[in-house]
Structure 1
Amino acid sequence: MEPARNTRPLVASIADVQASLDSRRIAIDKVGIKDIRHPVRVRDRARGEQHTIATFNMYVYLPHNFKGTHMSRFVEILNGHEEEISVASFQTMLGEMAERLESEAGHIEMRFPYFIKKQAPISGVASLLDYEVSFIGEVRDGEPKMYIEVVVPVTSLCPCSKEIAAYGAHNQRSHVTVRIRNRGFIWIEELIELIEREASCEIFGLLKRPDEKYVTERAYNNPKFVEDMVRDVAARLNQDDRVGAYVVEAENFESIHNHSAYALVERDKEVEAPTNAGRAHPAPG
């Protein structure tokens, strides 16, 4: 009997075009893949862990002498961690990406919806509310930096409108965004609760009529400009030793204007010292 033949085609050596030299002498600061979705598990204070779907952006620095990067390696790294993606494994994945793509710098963003069960303030009826959360990692020359970002919807009521109007005051839904570089463990829920306490009122997924009365009156008795919200949140972050650096942004989607009101406070505690009103300036040399 004639021996079985190997029917697999012989693969000739395939050129690696990405690794070829480039003569334009222009380095690329970020090159990689955007908007790839992947299932993940995130630590949840109430239930231990939460399953969700994250959208990833993954980039590396490309030196001027290389034509391109190996895009498939980004996907291989992501799939290599399957669903075991946490803050710890996220940092491991960041270093692995820079090593496998032979780059001195790398950047990963992992954005996902995070759900918290909240109880209405009077009736106690429970409902889920979703928040946008991001893990952001950067590594340069082997030194990683990790950030957590949350976008929290809240209610804000205008102090000026309340002061000048015979009755009522305009209010609106606002987004407060906080990005921190932490130097101690912080629950996602802790950041969200800190922000909600500094708004005119927090929002809920489901309210009964007694709850609507409460949140309306709560906002009316607690008016906040966009400037007030970023300053109040920044003051709380200044007091938390687990926070090494932060950016606080607030955007009010104005109900009586066709524009938004916006404010931002940024501080790096490790290189700056606080002065009046929570604002930061470089420490004297």
Structure 2
Amino acid sequence: MKTCVKFLPDVAKETSDKYRMLEKVGIKGVAVYRRDFNSENVLTSQSAYVSLLHSKGIHMSRLVKTLVVDYANSIIQPEDGLLYSLADGHDVRNAYWECQWESMHVIDDVQSVKIKCNLEGRQNDDTIEWFLTTVIPYTSICPCSADMTKEFGGIPHMQRAEAVVTGQLTSDCEMSTLIPTFVYDVLDAVKVYPIPYMKRNDELAWCQNADKYNYFVEDAARLVGGIADRWFSDWVIACEHFETIHQHNVVGVCRKDGGRLR
């Protein structure tokens, strides 16, 4: 029986020893709506990769389908099944997935703080690992300028700052509990953080509170490291203070004793 259907060759599956192994091949920056730890819809930027042995290429559309069809609009969580789906679609045993987004951490009925989040999953044969990175804003007054101005007058300079924390997760962790509680603990440790909305009385109270907590970036890194140690089996943090009287910033890095994250 004659037919007008033409079966196109699957060029990607062509194999040869001349094709050098590629550690990662995949897609980057796929925009997908998912739900965050507040159950709010957020626009994520996702990437997915698999390893490539001796095949000519992979089927990129299979990776896209997993992200935009199979897991769209679901809550952002460590999902071992997602990694298996990426790998199984190409008959490999290695896969990598990354999801970036921004969420609002609610402080009270009026105020929220914007945080950046990044969830990574890595499959290597039967081993799966998950890592969460959060970028948490805070504020610091330089202790040197605070001491000098108290003695000689003037106004101490204040710095916006952020703590970038990467911690290793378990596959069964609940992001809806972990992220808001961890962020709360970090903000409670640093004591001073940016507030989107202020009236005059609020601003005065904020400045009076800030005057009590002056610390260098080294102090901040140790404070946040102490919080991370209670939440993650392995972790690394980098605190950065955005200097107001210099053209450079200052950074302090702290990691778990004996940890492998850098």
| TM-score of the aligned structures, taking structure 2 as reference length | 0.87
Q: Show the counterpart of 2:237.
A: 248
Q: Show the counterpart of 1:149.
A: 133
Q: 1:94 aligns with which of 80, 83, 98?
A: 83
- Structure 1 residues 25 and 67: CA distance shift in structure 2, 3 A: closer
Aligned residues: 250
**1:244 match: secondary structure:** coil
Q: Is the 8 A contact 1:200 1:223 kept in 2?
A: no
**1:126 match: secondary structure:** coil
- Distance apart, 1:139 and its partner CA: 0.9
| Equivalent-residue separation in structure 2 for 1:200 and 1:258 (angstroms) | 26
Q: Show the counterpart of 2:148.
A: 164
Report which of the two has the higher share of helix. 2
- Distance apart, 1:142 and its partner CA: 2.1
Q: Show the counterpart of 1:37.
A: 31
Q: Is the 8 A contact 1:173 1:252 kept in 2?
A: yes
1:114 corresponds to 2:103:
yes
Q: Is the 8 A contact 2:141 2:213 kept in 1?
A: yes
Q: 2:248 aligns with which of 255, 259, 262?
A: 259
Q: Show the counterpart of 1:127.
A: 111
1:218 corresponds to 2:205:
no
1:229 corresponds to 2:229:
no
AA in 1 matched with 2:74: E
Identity %: 23
1:82 corresponds to 2:72:
yes
* Cα-to-partner distance string for 1:5-53 (whole Å, 9 max, x where unaligned): x9xx723221222222355453222211111111111232xxxx22211
Q: Show the counterpart of 1:28.
A: 22
| Equivalent-residue separation in structure 1 for 2:66 and 2:75 (angstroms) | 11
RMSD: 2.1
* Cα-to-partner distance string for 1:121-173 (whole Å, 9 max, x where unaligned): xxxx7134321112111111121111222111110111122223433321111
Q: Is the 8 A contact 2:165 2:236 kept in 1?
A: yes
AA in 2 matched with 1:84: S
Q: 1:199 aligns with which of 190, 196, 200?
A: 190
| Equivalent-residue separation in structure 2 for 1:98 and 1:226 (angstroms) | 42
**1:136 match: secondary structure:** strand
Could you tell me which runs of 5 or more consecutive residues in structure 1 were left unpaired when the two chains were aligned. 1-5, 120-124, 268-279
| Equivalent-residue separation in structure 1 for 2:110 and 2:42 (angstroms) | 20
Q: Is the 8 A contact 2:37 2:75 kept in 1?
A: no
**2:181 match: secondary structure:** helix
Q: Show the counterpart of 1:271.
A: none
| Equivalent-residue separation in structure 2 for 1:126 and 1:231 (angstroms) | 30
| Equivalent-residue separation in structure 1 for 2:64 and 2:7 (angstroms) | 23
Q: Is the 8 A contact 1:59 1:108 kept in 2?
A: yes
AA in 2 matched with 1:220: D
Q: Show the counterpart of 1:3.
A: none
Q: Show the counterpart of 1:173.
A: 160
AA in 2 matched with 1:205: P
Report which of the two has the higher share of strand. 1
**2:85 match: secondary structure:** helix
AA in 2 matched with 1:209: R
* Cα-to-partner distance string for 1:226-254 (whole Å, 9 max, x where unaligned): 1111111111222x2x5211111111111
1:51 corresponds to 2:38:
no
- Range with bigger deviation, 17-26 or 197-206: 17-26
- Distance apart, 1:281 and its partner CA: 3.7
Q: Show the counterpart of 1:73.
A: 62
Q: Show the counterpart of 1:276.
A: none
1:136 corresponds to 2:120:
yes
- Distance apart, 1:200 and its partner CA: 5.2
| TM-score of the aligned structures, taking structure 1 as reference length | 0.80
- Distance apart, 1:96 and its partner CA: 1.1
